[in-house]
């Protein structure tokens, strides 16, 4: 097999004959590459210079530090918000609502269930079960809420009278009689206080 050429015997190109640049990596910087086959110390693959590689590492480190700093600041802000905002309404000033003095009175003998409007923005009534008569209560009702007192006699019946006064002035009275007798007294409070002149 004298005419056969072995791969090891095949002539190889001289490294100094071809002065070629390696193809840049996608997204890479062509300045970061060194020549392939260019004399002493030639490299056969893509390589970055140590200065460029160090620069890229510093940029990556800075980006990581910025992200970590932003996350830490966000966590710190949430912690401070939780510490400073306790959610207690005790620290907040109470909203002042103008009111008027209202006197409810129920006269008679025995007991009666009494329902009346007191200082409630929602309009919820106060209920007193089996109140001993005579009964009297002065409360402050928010302006714009109508004061009302309702009486219901018990199973034994009897007679009871309700009366309502706003700012000391009698407004209305009514009488309940008999078994489970009922009576209601009500008045009107304007939303604004009347001016005296």
In DSSP notation, 174-188 reads EEEESTT-EEEEE--
Assign 3-state DSSP to the chain and report helix, strand, coil percentages, each to 5. 20, 35, 45
Ranges in the chain, pLDDT < 50: 1, 17-22, 32-39, 42, 44, 195-197
Per-residue pLDDT at 35: 46
Q: Which residues pair with 137 in a beta bridge?
A: 104
- The answer to whether residues 100 and 117 touch, using CB atoms and an 8 Å cutoff, is no
Query: Residue 143 contacts by C-beta under 8 Å, 6 or more apart in sequence?
Result: 97, 98, 99, 100, 189, 190, 191, 192, 193
Domain 99-186 annotated CATH 1.10.3470? no
**Do the strands 125-132 and 135-142 form a parallel or antiparallel pair, or are they unpaired?**
unpaired
Task: Please state the pTM of the whole predicted model.
Answer: 0.50
CA 170 to chain centre: 47
Per-residue pLDDT at 48: 62
Q: Given strand 125-132, what is the order of strands in its sheet?
A: 125-132, 111-117, 148-153, 182-186
Per-residue pLDDT at 11: 56
- The answer to whether residues 173 and 123 touch, using CB atoms and an 8 Å cutoff, is no
**Structure letter (DSSP) for residue 43:** B
Locate the domains of the chain by residue range.
23-84, 99-186
């Amino acid at each position: 097999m004298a005419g056969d050429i072995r791969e090891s015997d095949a002539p190889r190109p001289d490294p100094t004959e071809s002065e070629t640049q390696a193809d840049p990596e996608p997204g890479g910087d062509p300045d970061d590459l060194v020549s392939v086959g260019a004399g002493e110390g030639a490299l056969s693959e893509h390589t970055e210079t140590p200065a460029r590689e160090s620069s890229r590492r510093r940029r990556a480190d800075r980006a990581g530090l910025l992200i970590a700093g932003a996350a830490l600041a966000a966590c710190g802000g949430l912690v401070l918000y939780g510490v400073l905002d306790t959610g207690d309404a005790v620290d907040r000033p109470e909203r002042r609502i103008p009111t008027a003095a209202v006197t409810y009175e129920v006269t008679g003998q025995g007991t009666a269930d009494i329902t009346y409007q007191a200082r409630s923005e929602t309009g919820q009534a106060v209920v007193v079960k089996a109140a001993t008569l005579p009964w009297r209560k002065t409360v402050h009702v928010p302006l714009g809420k109508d004061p009302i007192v309702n009486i219901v006699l018990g199973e034994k019946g009897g007679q009871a009278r309700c009366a309502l006064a706003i700012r000391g002035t009698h407004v209305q009275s009514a009488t309940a009689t008999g078994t489970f007798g009922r009576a209601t007294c009500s008045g009107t409070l304007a939303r604004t206080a009347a001016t005296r002149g």
